Amino acid sequence: MTAATAASASLAASREEWLGKAQTLSEALPYMRRYAGQTFVVKYGGHAMGDERLGEMFARDIVLLKQVGINPVVVHGGGPQIGQMLDRLKIKSEFIDGLRVTDKETVEIVEMVLSGSINKQLVQLINDQGGQAIGLSGKDGELIEAKKVMRTKRDPDSNIERVLDLGFVGDPYKVNPGMIRRIQDAGLIPVIAPIGFGPNGETFNINADTAAGAVAAAVGAKRLLLLTDVAGVLNKEKALIPELSVEQAKACIADGTASGGMIPKIETCIQAVEHGVDASVILDGRVPHAILMEIFTEGGAGTLIGHK
């Protein structure tokens, strides 16, 4: 093959690639029109947070949503990073029902990691990709008021229930949507750490999925997207279920199709939909551009839970 022939073949291949990208953009146009002006709440966490390449792709996708007229709101987690800091400081912690028991010393570390290093790293990632993000926690502007989480456990021998004290772990009680709307009206992208405040000025650690669901309901989001470490809700044959009604999602929990950590994610999605969110989606944050695939393609990328 001569140099001229090789150059011609390379140009032809490039044109095919460009044509494919143009076709993708053309197919995305109806979705851009449909969702223009709508708010999408995205919970970002899991293993994707520790992957620099995936983090940059995530930030670029969030900026793209803003550029096409969608208003993204990011709520992030940080469990692994909190665990690493606690280990470094030789502070022991335990989990009950998937929630970290958080005493006064631990909640100070949790707030430092979530509202400090992780939040600002994510803000910088988005800004580096051309966006304008602003970081805040649920304590800023009285964004998320929380109440103490209470759990009970029944002793299998005596059948007596006892109350478990999780410390400064909270559930969202009230979200201030006006705070988020003012940030959006200024053309900024809110990046929220799941730290709330209590009625007596306490600081509460809030599960990031739960916080994202409460924020989505409060702002009347079109979509709640929970980025996780699995493809979505799987059936008993371990195949992805693309779509579920609220009733079907509840049945997945009741019949054991969903188990373990997937149950609270489904419950968060159901609660969001029942409180006004158009639909919630559980999708794999480890897949590059999973958000764009979910929003701008017919097939989506995860499991959508909504009203059929």
Q: What is the pLDDT of residue 63?
A: 93
Which candidate, 145, 127, 123, 132, places its Cα nearest to that of 185? 132
Share the mean pLDDT of the chain. Answer: 84
Share of the chain residues as helix, strand and coil, in percent rounded to the nearest 5: 45, 25, 30
Indicate whether 60 pLDDT > 80. yes
Binding residues: 78-79, 100, 205
Binding residues for substrate: 78-79, 100, 205
User: Is 197 a domain residue?
Assistant: yes
| Residue 10 in domain | no
* Structural domain includes residue 6: no
Residue 30 falls inside a structural domain: no
Could you read off the pLDDT of 168-197 as tens digits, one per residue?
888 999 999 999 999 999 999 999 999 999
Pairing of β 279-284 and β 223-228: parallel
CATH of the domain at 229: 3.40.1160.10
Quote the CA–CA distance of 68 and 64 in Å, as a whole number.
6
- Number of independent structural domains in the chain: 1
State the Cα–Cα distance between residues 278 and 39, nearest whole angstrom.
11
**Within a domain: 262:** yes
* 201, part of any domain: yes
Length of the chain: 308
Instruction: Assess if residue 202 is contained within a domain.
Output: yes
Domain assignment of residue 242, given as a range: 35-306
Task: For residue 293, tell me if it sits in a domain.
Answer: yes
- Which pTM value belongs to this model? 0.86
Model pLDDT for residues 273-299, shown as the tens digit of each residue: 999 999 999 998 888 888 888 888 877
At a CB cut-off of 8 Å and minimum separation 6, what does 66 contact? 72, 131, 189
Measured CA distances, 254 to 216, 248, 282, 303 (Å): 25, 10, 18, 18
Distances (CA, A) of 162 to 42, 74, 101: 36, 37, 16
If one counts every other C-beta atom within 10 angstroms of the C-beta of residue 96, the result is: 14
